Structures are given as structure tokens and as C-alpha cells.
């Protein structure tokens, strides 16, 4: 897959940028989509969620027990590990919800095509993910290019990915999302709990299906 030139996207954010909490309008029908009404000024329309981008290892599937350093060794391990792939708790429920709400889904991972296809075919055969950005795409995370490529493919207005949420389990996921202008969601575990309070993390969940209630009632990130 050809690399997407992130330098052409002026909306990429620096790691030190200060911003207000990220919010998206509730997906639940009949819920108010404005905020800020009162003496301080008129109500403002809340941003609409345009799509969700997911990492794979440690996010859509449980993390592998070990990783090899060499490129070919990683490829061999990932092929063998396909037989042991296990879906994250709440995976099917979250994807069914996003599909029911018409929310687009993409993938941005450093995994290879084959394990990603195996995961989707095994656990989510009826759920569409497009585009799927894998290891062959350059530059990889933490560069925001993959997420910006997804936003561009979806034809989103604006110079960045501010209408998207990036869901992942690593600092590279959070940093890529932040630099792309997306809101970030950390799927927390014992290994990455130090990222819960990281400046690049907007929201933390312990299970994928926790995101259903968040999106249904309106995404509100933590104050940074």
C-alpha cells in the first residue's frame, strides 16, 4: 500500500498542543446535540462522530505473549499465532452496535495482512472494515499518516482526522491518534496502565463494549 503524505495535512497536532476535552454528539436518537447554552453564550452544535479506527493486536484481539525482534521472525510468529487468536471481550457487541448506528470502521495496525484477515473472517465476518492499513503502509504509527489516509479515503471534510476516534492499547496508537487530530481511546490492561494518565489519552476503557455507552450518550474526553 502506498504511503499517505501526512505533511500535506496541516491539521496534524504536536505532542505538546493544549486542547479542551474532546466531545462528540450522542448517537442515541432524540438526544440533544448542542452544548454550552446559558448566560455564557449561545449553544454550540456538538461534533458528529464520522468513524472509528482500531488497532488490532491488544485491541481487537488479545495481545500475544511474546514478540520477536527480527522482521521475518515476527511474520512467522504471527502466522503460527493465528490458530491461537482470541477476540477481546466485547468485540462482537461493539461492532454490532457501530454497524447498527452506521458508523464507519477502519483499521490501522503494524500487523501483516494475513493475521488481520484471519481475525476478521473468524470473529467479524459480517462487519465491514475499510480501509485496512497494515504493516506495508509507510510511515507506520506513531506517525499519523495511516489515520489521515483513512480520513481521506472516507472523504471527510477538513485537513485532519478530528471527526474520528482512534482505539488502541499502545503509546504509538495514542500518539498517532493525537497527531492526526483524532480523539483517542485506550483499551487498558496491566501492561499499559501507565498510559491511563498520558497526555495523548482522551478516554480509557477496560472492555471494548464499554464504548457503546460512551458513544450512545455522547463522547466526553478527560480534561488534559
Instruction: Report pLDDT for 73.
Output: 64
Instruction: Report pLDDT for 158.
Output: 82
Distance between CA atoms of residues 102 and 49, nearest Å: 10
Distance between CA atoms of residues 85 and 82, nearest Å: 5
Distance between CA atoms of residues 203 and 22, nearest Å: 9
Three cell numbers, residue 59: 485491541
Domain segments of the chain as ranges: 47-217
Q: 47-217 has which CATH code?
A: 3.40.50.1000
* C-alpha dist (Å) from residue 191 to 8, 57, 169, 196, 208: 35, 13, 9, 11, 17
Q: Which of 155, 177, 176 is nearest to 164 (CA)?
A: 177
Instruction: Report pLDDT for 72.
Output: 61
> What tens-digit pLDDT sequence spans the chain (224 residues)?
444 454 444 444 444 455 689 999 999 986 666 665 444 555 679 999 999 999 999 999 988 654 444 456 666 666 666 767 889 999 999 999 999 999 999 999 999 899 999 999 999 999 999 999 999 999 999 999 999 999 999 999 888 999 999 999 999 999 999 999 999 999 999 999 999 999 999 999 999 999 999 999 999 999 87
Amino acid at each position: 500500500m502506498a504511503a499517505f503524505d501526512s505533511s500535506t495535512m496541516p491539521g496534524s497536532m504536536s505532542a505538546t498542543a493544549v486542547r479542551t476535552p474532546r466531545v462528540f454528539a450522542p448517537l442515541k436518537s432524540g438526544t440533544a446535540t448542542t452544548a454550552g447554552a446559558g448566560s455564557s453564550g449561545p449553544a454550540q452544535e456538538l461534533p458528529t462522530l464520522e468513524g472509528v479506527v482500531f488497532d488490532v493486536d491488544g485491541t481487537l484481539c488479545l495481545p500475544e505473549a511474546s514478540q520477536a525482534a527480527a522482521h521475518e521472525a515476527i511474520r512467522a510468529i504471527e502466522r503460527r499465532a493465528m490458530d491461537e487468536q482470541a477476540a477481546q471481550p466485547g468485540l462482537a457487541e461493539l461492532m454490532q452496535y457501530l454497524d447498527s448506528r452506521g458508523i464507519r470502521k477502519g483499521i490501522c495496525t503494524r500487523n501483516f495482512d494475513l493475521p488481520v484477515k484471519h481475525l476478521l473472517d473468524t470473529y467479524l465476518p459480517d462487519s465491514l472494515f475499510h480501509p485496512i492499513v497494515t504493516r506495508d503502509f509507510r510511515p507506520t504509527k506513531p506517525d499519523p499518516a495511516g489515520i489521515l489516509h483513512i480520513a481521506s479515503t472516507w472523504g471527510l471534510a477538513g485537513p485532519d482526522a478530528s471527526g474520528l476516534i482512534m482505539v488502541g492499547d499502545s503509546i504509538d496508537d495514542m500518539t498517532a491518534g493525537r497527531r492526526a487530530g483524532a480523539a483517542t481511546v485506550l483499551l487498558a490492561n496491566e501492561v499499559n496502565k501507565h498510559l491511563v494518565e498520558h497526555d495523548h489519552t482522551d478516554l480509557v476503557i477496560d472492555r471494548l463494549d464499554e464504548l457503546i455507552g460512551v458513544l450512545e450518550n455522547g463522547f466526553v474526553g478527560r480534561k488534559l
